[in-house]
């Protein structure tokens, strides 16, 4: 593992690191904020999964999350959104290929050799963190934005004993029925729609739900609202009697301005669950 940068931040440390990934077949970069409490012992972990076109850096620099994580004494992990490099398959469209991993394990070529983001997020990177940093991977929660909100919700519902809480900002909520989602799920997983079900938050909500705190914020002026389909997820939550909150935030769009506005509340929700 290589240290790219380390900066003092709210009495903690914001670092950027690169480590080889066996599952993705190349080096992967991630950001990690450690609060001051990490100097005295392992702290709980909160994951932030970013959206299309993002790297580890977007949320790390724009979300305003470190101040609230420092206040709560929790670590923040900012993974990249896909494998990268000259040997990694890519596409001219911004919503497929590098920067658009969709947090799945691709089974189709040319994506399968590198696009194993599910295993990277849920297995490989947690092991890297546990071996190299003062974090407690027995206490984890997860959140994300847009494509990353899709990833956070689907990962949390598929691994219910792993994450104590889950939240999302403007998630891609029903990709199997969205023009935005069907393209990527077909490219990465093939045409068998049965294989898509574990990567659709609405279908998972109908089937299994989530036994823990859940919060979703969606802006009413989101320019991608028709592609995100929050109404389908809301209907599934209601039908299942899922405990949780889905809020339509008047006037907010899809940007990091929305994320930073409500970040304090999201981190407070996770901190309460992580320190129970």
CB under 8 Å to 9, separation ≥6 — which residues? 33, 66, 70
Q: Is 134 annotated as catalytic? A: no
The catalytically annotated residue of 56, 114, 145, 254 is 254
Q: Is 146 annotated as catalytic? A: yes
| Alpha carbons 252 and 257: distance in angstroms, whole number | 8
The catalytically annotated residue of 146, 165, 167, 178 is 146
CA dihedral 42, 167, 185, 193 (to 10 degrees): 110
CA-nearest of 102, 115, 16, 27 to 58 is 16
The catalytically annotated residue of 80, 200, 217, 222 is 222
CA-nearest of 173, 79, 87 to 117 is 79
CB under 8 Å to 92, separation ≥6 — which residues? none
Q: Is 254 annotated as catalytic? A: yes
| Alpha carbons 270 and 263: distance in angstroms, whole number | 11
Task: Kindly list the catalytic residues.
Answer: 146, 222, 254
């Amino acid at each position: 593992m290589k240290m790219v940068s380390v900066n003092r931040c709210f009495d903690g440390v914001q670092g950027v690191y690169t480590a080889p990934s066996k599952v993705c077949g190349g080096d992967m970069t991630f950001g990690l904020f450690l609060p001051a409490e990490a100097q005295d012992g392992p702290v709980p972990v909160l994951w932030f999964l970013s959206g299309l076109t993002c790297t580890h850096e977007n949320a790390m620099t724009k979300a305003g999350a470190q101040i609230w994580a420092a206040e709560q004494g929790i670590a923040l992990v900012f993974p990249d959104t896909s494998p990268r490099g000259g040997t990694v398959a890519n596409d001219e469209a911004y919503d497929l290929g590098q920067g658009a991993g969709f947090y799945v394990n691709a089974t189709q070529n040319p994506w399968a050799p590198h696009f194993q983001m599910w295993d990277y997020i849920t297995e490989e990177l947690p092991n890297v963190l546990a071996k190299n940093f003062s974090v407690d991977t027995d206490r984890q929660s997860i959140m994300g934005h847009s494509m990353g909100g899709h990833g956070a919700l689907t990962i949390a519902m598929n691994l219910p004993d792993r994450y104590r809480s889950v939240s999302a900002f403007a998630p891609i909520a029903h990709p199997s029925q969205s023009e935005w989602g069907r393209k990527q799920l077909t490219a990465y997983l093939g045409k068998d729609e049965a294989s898509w079900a574990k990567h659709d938050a609405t279908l998972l909500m109908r089937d299994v739900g989530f036994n823990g705190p859940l919060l979703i914020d969606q802006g009413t002026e989101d320019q991608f609202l028709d592609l995100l389909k929050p109404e389908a997820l809301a209907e599934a939550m209601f039908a299942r009697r899922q405990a949780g909150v889905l809020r339509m935030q008047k006037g907010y769009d899809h940007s990091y301005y929305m994320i930073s506005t409500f970040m304090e509340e999201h981190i407070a929700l996770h901190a309460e669950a992580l320190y129970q």
